[in-house]
Amino acid sequence: MQPAEPIWIASLWQPWADLVCPDARLATLLNKTTPAWSEHLPKDVENRTRRISHRGLLAIHAAAGRVDRAALATLNLGAGRFVRGAIVGVVDLVGVSTSDPSWWATPGAVHWKVARPRRLLSPIVTPGPQSARTITDPGVLREIRRQLDGGLVSTLEQVSA
């Protein structure tokens, strides 16, 4: 039996976590309120201050305590519509650079390039890390794998089909 690949976790403030792993409701809402942002969903770059060596599965955790109020104002959204304090999805971390051409890339930041966002149908409530790290909680790992293996995820491709 092959060991399961490690899954890392990173906490993001809302609405950034949901923009990386959007659900149909957010995609529809952004199409009405902020079409320029809607055109670029899902967010394919996470802007960070440091590089990491991990490539592979990255769980997206919506931070419990903070939201980006400026981004929420730009999107004309209230903080109450967002899940917080839970893993909301999983992406593949495919690269790290400082020169990604993505619409989402901030100049001067370290760009974590992500692909294949999968929104978990049941968010997993768990404390978020201060920095990206490997998930070691066996219950959290088991639940992520159960949802991924069982097809209990949604993607924007499913929404538009």
Mean pLDDT of 89-103: 98
Answer yes or no: are the C-beta atoms of 67 and 127 closer than 8 Å: no
Q: How many CB atoms lie within 10 A of CB 136?
A: 10
Q: Is the pLDDT of residue 159 over 60?
A: no
What pLDDT, on a 0 to 100 scale, did the predictor assign at position 81? 82
Is 124 a residue whose pLDDT tops 50? yes
Closest CA to 27 of 142, 158, 133: 158
All structural domains of the chain, each given as residue ranges with its CATH number in brackets, are 8-160 (2.30.130.30)
Q: Give the torsion through C-alpha atoms of 36, 68, 22, 75, to 10 deg.
A: -30
Tell whether the model's pLDDT for residue 117 goes beyond 80.
yes
pLDDT beyond 70 at 46: yes
Predicted confidence at residue 161, as pLDDT, reads 43
